[in-house]
Amino acid sequence: MATPVRPLARAEHDLTRDERAAETDRLARLAHETEDPEERRAVLERLIALNIRVARAVAARYRGRGAPLEDLEQVACEGLTKAVHRFDPTLRHDLLSYAVPTIRGEVLRYFRDRSWMVHPPRRVQDLQWRLAAVRDHLTLELGRPPAVGEVCEELGITRAEHDEALQAYGCFDPTSLDQPLDDVVGSTLGDVVADDVDPFGSVEARVTLGPLLRRLDERERRILHLRFVEEQTQREIGEVLGVAQMQVSRWLSRILSRLRSELEGAPEAATTRR
């Protein structure tokens, strides 16, 4: 007969640190020793709930680095769950000394694999984490922020490698174009960023295509508007017009072929209209 899981004497959030550690050790051993799958599942769930604040604390260390805290906490809890299920008390005495590195690894893997806006090489990503750790270590040791040369010497890297890693820091969270400029009241970063679009090319396109578009009938102009202004798919256009996607595809091909022929100065392509 399975040994029932002993209830806690007080609410889990009221336990002292030593009481939590003792209960964690007891539950970890019980989960390892029991042969009842249901009891083991219940004990593991209790272990996770008992130490969930540890996962959240690890996640909180990485807040403000371009990923929502809620996402980091979810990933950290997944790391805690993996650690709890893999922990063997006959090989290690303390669950948390095994779980915390596992949780941290899951959070770092999340950053490396999912939250980059632009993906630098893996070696650059790894170097960034090493840079952050060494800066923290040297700051405590020296009592001041370390110089670049001191960081490079500690890591055994060149100044070029250091600068390359720093340049990639913005890949986590791009700067908002709505960010206000300190030296220009009422202006934002987007106001001063150059536009890659050639305005003269746009004007030329309007002048050239204007007369050709006016020759199209109402349905043809509407199809072009839905496709290239509202950016709807052919399926969505078909739903609006009450026809099959294949019909929309044929109409678009005919319209574009006709416009292309007229732009190139060729005789107007014959079009069959329904």
Print the SS3 string covering 73-91: HHHHHHHHHHHHHHCCCCC
Q: Find the mean pLDDT for residues 43-52.
A: 93
How many CB atoms sit inside 10 A of residue 222's CB?
14
Distances (CA, A) of 236 to 16, 217, 220, 243, 252: 60, 20, 16, 10, 14
Phi, psi (5° rounding) for residue 264? -85, 0
18 sits in which H/E element: helix 17-33
CA–CA separation, 9 and 148 (whole Å): 53
Instruction: Name the pLDDT band for 49 (thresholds 50, 70, 90).
Output: very high
Could you tell me which residues come within 8 angstroms of residue 131 by beta carbon, excluding any fewer than 6 positions away? 151, 155, 162, 165, 166
Q: Which amino acid, residue 148?
A: V
Could you give the C-alpha distances from 150 to 74, 141, 155, 257, in angstroms and in order? 36, 12, 9, 65
CA distance 191 to 182: 13
Is the pLDDT at 157 greater than 50, yes or no?
yes
Q: What is the pLDDT of residue 79?
A: 92
**Span 258-268, pLDDT tens digits:** 888 887 764 44
Q: How far apart, in whole angstroms, are the C-alpha atoms of residue 274 and residue 195? A: 42
Predicted confidence at residue 211, as pLDDT, reads 82
Task: Give the Cα separation of 176 and 187 in Å (integer).
Answer: 13
Mean pLDDT, rounded, for 64-77 = 85
Phi, psi of 115 (to 5 degrees): -100, 10
- Of 44 and 7, more confident: 44
What is the average pLDDT across 25-50? 92
Residue 169 has pLDDT above 70, yes or no: no
pLDDT band at 225 (very low <50, low <70, confident <90, very high): confident
CA atoms of 192 and 202, how far apart (whole Å) = 20
Q: What pLDDT is recorded for position 191? A: 53
pLDDT given for residue 246 in this prediction = 86
pLDDT at 108: 82
pLDDT band, residue 73 (cuts 50/70/90):
very high
- Quote the DSSP letter at residue 195: P
Which pair of structure tokens corresponds to residue 122? 């893996």
Beta strands of the chain (E only): which ranges?
none
Supply the mean pLDDT for the chain: 76
Angstrom distance (rounded) from CA 155 to CA 41: 44
Of residues 252 and 204, the one with the higher pLDDT is 252
pLDDT at 221 over 70: yes
Instruction: Tell me the two tokens of residue 78.
Output: 């997944």
DSSP state of 12: G
